[in-house]
Amino acid sequence: MKDLDYTYAVARVRALENSLFSDSEIERLLACTEEEQCLQLLSEKGWGDGTGSMDISDMLKREEEKTWEVIRELAPDMSVFDVLSYPKLYHNLKAAVKQVCTEVEGESIFYEDCSITGEEMLQIVRNKEWGQLPGNMGEAAAEAYDTLLHTRDGQLCDVIVDKAALDAIYEAGKRSKAEIIRNYAESTVAIADIKIAVRSQKTAKSIDFMKRAMAQCETISVEQLSKAAAAGMDAIRDYLLGTAYAEGAAALQESSSAFERWCDNRMMETIRPQKYNSFSVGPLVAYVLARESEIKTVRIILTGKQNGFSEESIRERIREMYV
Amino acid sequence: MSQLGIVYALMGAAVAVFLAGAGSALGVGIAGQAASGVVSEDPSKFAKVLILQLLPGTQGLYGLIIGFVTLSKIGLLGGGVVDVSVQTGLLILAACLPIGIVGLISGTSQGKTAASAIGIIAKKPDQFGKAMLFPAMVETYAILALLISFLAVSAIQV
């Protein structure tokens, strides 16, 4: 698609961006003393299905659906957005492999809003029809299935599928002509690698485990990052200081939740230039990611209020807003 | 040979109207798509985005002016077609080129700038004055081309 084909869609997204939460509106939400007040505020802003239902999960689910309804209506070519659903797709694969291998049925463990739904994925895994899965998924599914059956190691199964997901995202980024998808893929893989390094360091995992879990990308060296993780948290920070993710080192020093927040904020930084782009698919992708981040932030606030967290500890977890 | 002269002169008028008109059509089309996007979400911004959409439409008018001047110069509008030599015909054609070419390029560029300015209206409608200035800047070059084409066509003796 040519960039000019997105003129209508970008202008509409620009108008829609007005209804995204700004930092001051998040502050208002934070200032609510009770969960009901938050829900009331969200409902006044048009969140939910319009029936006045105050069920949190329904409201947040409906907001996710609304985002995709708009994008489906606007985008001349939906294939650009496939890469955004890879995490959900590979999650479905992981859940299906575990359910089939352990024969334990979980409730609501699948995402239904992606190209292969939970039921379809279960069918494929039960019949071992790996050829029906797209890209590298078939290979990863077979390996994860065999590994889980032989070793009963759920974590290893997760590592195989998660690595395949990161590889698929990176490949999709390399193939894509859209700059935002390339940047999204690079940031997603790099941040995931950094998260793996930090968590592996905390749980004292081996270098081999880390190398198996991390995916290759341009801005992070798997070799150096895994060595740094094996040497300790300070070594990870030192390594990050020499990369494009230097701010992550400071966040790591602060606290775990500050680090998690930085991971999401870094993605926001990647997409923020799209606010000033009037053509191309970039602003549409940025809108989807901004909505996802907004919904995640609202979920964090609501969960915090539900569990009686202090305003300060919720604030520490609040993500930067796009607008 | 004298008939070929009038053909060249007529080609000049056609180039001015065709290229500048095409530039405006493309520009207004691009800005119109952006305007539709904003109005579909917020119909109250219709008047503001309509003005921005119309800005790239002027190149077509400039082309039309030069076309008219050329046609009246060679007598096609008054009924008495004058005798135009090949050299004069080519001179008229050359005189029409600035508004044709600049009209095409500036019309398209102004359309893109107007679409971006419509983005400003979508987010900050109170900044309408500033939003209008950006596409208006592109207009300068269309006006310069119009001036040169007009002076050149007027100066040619037939």
pLDDT digits (tens, 9 = 90+) for A21-35: 998 889 999 888 888
Mutate to test the interface with B, among A8, A66, A276 (most CBs of B within 10 A): A8
Give tens-digit pLDDT for B62-121: 999 999 999 999 998 877 888 899 999 999 999 999 999 999 999 999 999 999 999 999
Instruction: Give the DSSP letter of residue B74.
Output: T
Q: Are A80 and A281 within 8 A, CB to CB?
A: yes
Residue A168: is its pLDDT beyond 70? Answer: yes
Q: Using DSSP, state whether B68 is helix, strand or coil.
A: helix
Nearest to A12 among B30, B40, B123 (CB): B40
Mutate to test the interface with B, among A5, A14, A280 (most CBs of B within 10 A): A14
Interchain pair A7, B40: CB under 8 A:
no
Instruction: Give the DSSP letter of residue A242.
Output: T
Interchain pair B38, A15: CB under 8 A:
yes
Taking the Cβ of residue A22 and every Cβ of chain B, the question of whether any pair is shorter than 8 Å is answered with no
- Rounded to the nearest integer, the mean pLDDT of chain A is 90
% chain A with pLDDT above 70: 100
What pLDDT is recorded for position B2? 58
Residue B1: is its pLDDT beyond 80? Answer: no
Cβ contacts of B118 on chain A, cutoff 8 Å: 11
Q: What is the ipTM of this complex?
A: 0.88
Taking the Cβ of residue B75 and every Cβ of chain A, the question of whether any pair is shorter than 8 Å is answered with no
Taking the Cβ of residue B114 and every Cβ of chain A, the question of whether any pair is shorter than 8 Å is answered with no
Question: Dmax over Cα atoms in chain A, in whole Å?
Answer: 55
Q: Taking residues A35-44, what's their average pLDDT?
A: 87
CATH 1.20.120.610 for domain B2-155, yes or no, is yes
For residues A245 and A225, what is the distance between their CA atoms, to the nearest angstrom?
A: 12
Cβ contacts of A278 on chain B, cutoff 8 Å: 34, 112, 115-116, 119
For residues B102 and B141, what is the distance between their CA atoms, to the nearest angstrom?
A: 7
Q: Are B134 and B55 within 8 A, CB to CB?
A: no
Structure tokens at A269: 């930084």
**Nearest-CA distance from A122 to chain B in Å?**
40
